[in-house]
Amino acid sequence: MSEAISEALVELAKRRGFFFQSSGAYGGVSGFYTYGPQGASLKENVEDAWRDRFAVKEGHMEIDAPTVMPEPVFEASGHLDGFDDMLVECPECAESHRADHLIEDNTDIEEAESIPLSEVEDLIAEHDLVCPDCGTELAGEPVEDFNLMFETNIGPGTSQPGYLRPETAQGIFVEFPRLKEYARNQLPFGVTQVGRAYRNEISPRNSIIRVREFTQAELEHFIDPEEDEPPLSRVEDVEVRLYPAAEQEADDGDYVETTVGEAVAEGIVTSDWVAYYLGVGQRWYDRIGVDMDRFRFRQHLSGERAHYAADCWDAEAEIDGDWFELTGFAYRSDYDLSKHGEHSDESFTLFKQYDEPKTVERATVDPDMSYLGPEFGGAAGDVADALERKAERDRSAFDGDEVTVEVDGDEHAVPVEQTGFAVEEVTEAGEHITPHVVEPSFGVDRVVYTVIAHAYREDEVDGEARSYLELDPEVAPTVVGVFPLMDKDGMDDRARELAAELREAGLEVTYDDSGAIGRRYRRQDEVGTPFCVTVDYETVEDGDGAETVTVRERDSTAQVRVPTDDLAETLTALRDGDRTFDELTAAADAD
Ligand code: GAP
């Protein structure tokens, strides 16, 4: 990030109460941030806008699961084995660094995450990379996988290890057996969750962009891949800027500017479902004020994809020359539900009823246990189960005199005549299927940072430099600042009354009577308050029914007198975009 702007932004964020490093009284600790009053409100507004779009308007249900989950969940999900970043340690100062980030920061190589460990070691040597903290050469130092999960013990002792969830998604997947009941066992259905996730990042950086505790807003959409189709027509005209993997790998690769419909028709985005959510996501980002000229969808390179993802596109935003991932749109196939089905005692499938019952051939076994017992001892039961699975998957294996099955890595040959193998005709009403999952996964903190960064403006007002946030009223922490021109002559009492009335009408209001009026406007400009109301002498002198106040617009700093009778209604219409400030000014001029 360009240092000048990000410093200005981080300084503004701290000074005006958006966010700051936590536990400062004890020296602070990297990767943990507290949202102040403005930031907490902005973040909540972003989350509400997300819920409105991805839960309410898409017709999905929302859940709220615990952040600590037992170890078997992550054994099944693959996070215990495969959720690693590349760690290189400085031999001199013992500081840990993310090896792929060192490469990206010091060479022209992008997305170094997708490069195998041994090649990363070679690149460190080839480019003479040094420790950013003490300058010691890192060539020859081992690059190792570091698991990002925070481990804990559930209850006293160490008998039940647990982990802070590294993604909210697992809280949804493990509850699938119950959630499918709430969805009346019918696909497709979606489940959302907005909550904390934890990753023990090797080197947290860029303020709230890469932290160790953050908020995700995730949707897991469970679908039948054979039958369910997204309502693509709703978004087919949405214009998107795509950066496909092939373009990233080509020497003269470029963006593909197209529509969602075209991207599907031309096979650029192969999953209709992912394409649908790219369209919904593009519109949502535009709605909350992300600059569409600084926004793109980038496809993951094959080595970059998470262990569960069959395909993935990231929504990325440009901030001062660098691109940051805000959302992953992943096609997770049946990976998670299959894994939880294999590792637990619950069923992670769903019964799909056929339109008409079907008569099908079914291969079955009825092994002779009086043969398997003496022959295989303690493994006899597992051999019988393996025979059953083999019959379901590969009936030709029973064509000869013997069939071979594998149990715990050992092969066992069984005479076919002892297996009770038979092929029967059965009539089936349906089948058990494992749904596939499409997942838009948003990092709320990164969205908040981007919204602020893209709204940041500097200009001059009355010969004085001003910085302000051009925030959309939907996400602005405060919609209206109410001030008395002076803290006397009844103006303060009337301003307090008006502030209370506006709050009752559902508007977020700040009351401020400290310092010169110009300074109060600047304070509200800096936190992105779109409108300010000032009670002045004219207000208190106006007679009953004719009382007016000034309403000032943040971006233009233009002011207009508005009757207090209509004030709540007028400000609500301005907030909701049902009326523009220019229309309000024109109406006042016409009166
Ligand atoms: N369930 C899928 C998943 O977790 P991810 O790409 O690892 O996918 C999703 O994370 C989003 O979470 C990212 O696009 C990013 O916005 C956010 N995120 C991930 N790690 C983060 C971190 N250390 N700090 C802040 N946000 C993070």
Identity of the amino acid at 300: H
> pLDDT for 2-13, tens place per residue?
555 588 899 999
Burial class of 104 by CB neighbour count within 10 A (0 to 12, 13 to 18, 19+): middle
Residue 386 has pLDDT above 60, yes or no: yes
Q: Which helix (H) or strand (E) holds 518?
A: helix 517-526
pLDDT at 102 over 70: yes
Q: What is the pTM of this model?
A: 0.90
Ligand 1 centroid to Cα of residue 200, in Å, is: 12
Tokens coding 297? 């969808």
Q: Using the predicted structure, report yes or no on whether residue 523 has a pLDDT greater than 70.
A: yes
β-sheet bridge partners, residue 402: 415
Kindly state the percentage of the chain with pLDDT values over 70: 99
Which pLDDT belongs to residue 308? 74
pLDDT in tens, 425-454: 999 999 999 999 999 999 999 999 999 999
Among 131-135, 272-276, 408-412, whose mean pLDDT is lowest?
A: 408-412
Q: What are phi and psi of 294, to 5 degrees?
A: -120, 40
The residue whose CA has the least distance to atom 24 of ligand 1 is 210
∠ CA(263), CA(268), CA(274), 5° rounding? 75
Is residue 186 pLDDT above 60, yes or no?
yes
Residue-level pLDDT at 591: 75
Asked whether the beta carbons of 236 and 269 are under 8 A apart, the reply is no
Backbone CA torsion sign across 459, 462, 468, 470: negative
pLDDT digits 0-9 by tens, 126-164 = 999 999 999 999 999 999 999 999 999 999 998 999 999
The amino acid present at 221, given as its one-letter code, is H
Q: By the 8 A CB rule, do 529 and 479 touch?
A: yes
Largest Cα span, the chain:
106
What CATH number belongs to 478-590?
Answer: 3.40.50.800
Q: What's the pLDDT band for 311 if we cut at 50, 70, 90?
A: confident
At 241-256, the pLDDT tens digits run 999 999 999 999 999 9
Encode pLDDT of 109-130 as tens digits: 988 888 989 899 999 999 999 9
The predicted structure's pLDDT at residue 305:
80
Q: Where in the chain is the domain with CATH 3.40.50.800?
A: 478-590
Distance CA 297, CA 551 (A): 39
| Phi, psi values for residue 546, rounded to 5° | -115, 10
Ligand 1 binding pocket mutation candidate from 54, 167, 205, 296 (most atoms within 8 A of CB): 167
For residue 544, what pLDDT band results from cuts at 50, 70 and 90? Answer: low
Decide if 403 contacts 387 (C-beta within 8 A): yes
Ligand 1 centroid, distance to 314 Cα (angstroms): 10
Helix %, strand %, coil % of the chain (to 5):
40, 30, 30
Closest residue by Cα to residue 77 from 5, 147, 144: 147
Q: Calculate mean pLDDT across residues 486-512.
A: 96
Q: Pocket residues for ligand 1 (CB within 6 Å)? A: 167, 169, 199, 201, 210-211, 214, 216, 218, 325-328, 439, 441, 443, 445-446
Walk across the sheet containing 161-164 and list its strands.
68-70, 161-164, 151-153
Pocket test for ligand 1, best of 149, 167, 216 (most atoms within 8 A of CB): 216
